[in-house]
Amino acid sequence: MPAQHSQHDRSRFDRPEDPFKALGNETRLEILRALYERGQETGAVHEETLPYAELREAVGIEDKGNFNYHLRQLDGAFLESVDEADGGRSGYRLTFAGFEIAKVIDIDAWRSHDVCGPTKLPIGSDADDSPLTAVYEDSVVTVSHDGDPLYAHAVRPAGAADREMELEELLSVASTLWRHTVERILEGICPYCHATVERSLEVGDGPDRYWQYTFGGTCTECGPLGGSHVGVAVLSHPAVVSLFWEHGIDLADWQVWNVPFVTDDAVTVVDDEPTRLRIDVECNVDRLAVFVDDSVRVVDTERLE
């Protein structure tokens, strides 16, 4: 498993006490917008340099002293000054952090929207065949059982509006995004900050657990990232993908809550110390056993007769 970084290691990058203090001004946000929009026009958002005079004109500030003050508040963190000696023309361009902020502003990430759903899904739960329900609320698509969330992923309001708030389409988008997020976690990469993630297998039951066999991920920077049923950990394994492909089925077309082996009935405990699980994957008459260790890695597969 990935080694934990020490607190000293994690602090090797300087962090401002209040990184958003510099953004608490409309003029500074307009500066970021102007650089971002010019980059969008030229197709080079990260590289586009805008000369001082053009940038001031785009923002609409006549007072040079006032404009220079706001530039200084952003310089170094959200934009950088470029000299002709660096190659190209002198001026200002967005840093990576500046691009990220400008992008969020551009897509109206905080845009409010109506609630979409809830609606029942045409699939029963593992526990009692009661229907799963889906809803899009507060920019998150959530699939639940009896009010307990099983799957959840953000879908930007701009993306939801582009799909005319059709919940069926939003479910498809959320499923794809959720798969990608989980794949990063399983590869040991935090989907948010890209720091190291430690994975752990969790076996247990109780009234607060929908599944008995689950995994979780913990980022060295962000902390707990959540997890899912252990069956999800084998979704993209080549042996599993091939099994379904042989029958003309592309697993990528299935929404994760519809995958038949993401269920406790498909899981068997092979070893206790350390924990090793077998997940039985079936497609028509063909069966595949997939073995997962306590770090949520596939360690072996076996075709079953």
Cis peptide before 274 (omega within 30 of 0): yes
- Is it the case that residue 3 has pLDDT exceeding 50? no
Q: What tens digit of pLDDT does each residue of 225-253 get?
A: 988 999 999 999 999 999 999 999 999 99
Q: Are 278 and 291 in contact (CB under 8 A)?
A: yes
Q: What tens digit of pLDDT does each residue of 147-200 get?
A: 889 999 999 888 898 999 999 999 999 999 999 999 999 999 999 889 999 999
pLDDT of residue 209: 80
Please give the torsion angle defined by the CA atoms of residues 103, 252, 231 and 156, in that order, rounded to the nearest 10 degrees: 20
- Cα separation, 193 vs 191, in Å, equals 6
Enumerate domains of the chain plus CATH numbers.
19-106 (1.10.10.10), 233-304 (no CATH)
Angle, in degrees to the nearest 10, between helices 26-42 and 96-106: 90
CA neighbor of 219 nearest in space, from 187, 252, 258: 187
Total-model pTM: 0.77
- Whole-Å CA distances, 21 to 18, 24, 29, 59, 99: 6, 6, 12, 20, 17
Looking up tokens 């002709």 gives 84
Mean pLDDT of 118-126: 74
Contacts of 55 (CB under 8 A, 6+ apart): 31, 34, 35, 91, 92
Helix (H) or strand (E) holding 34: helix 26-42
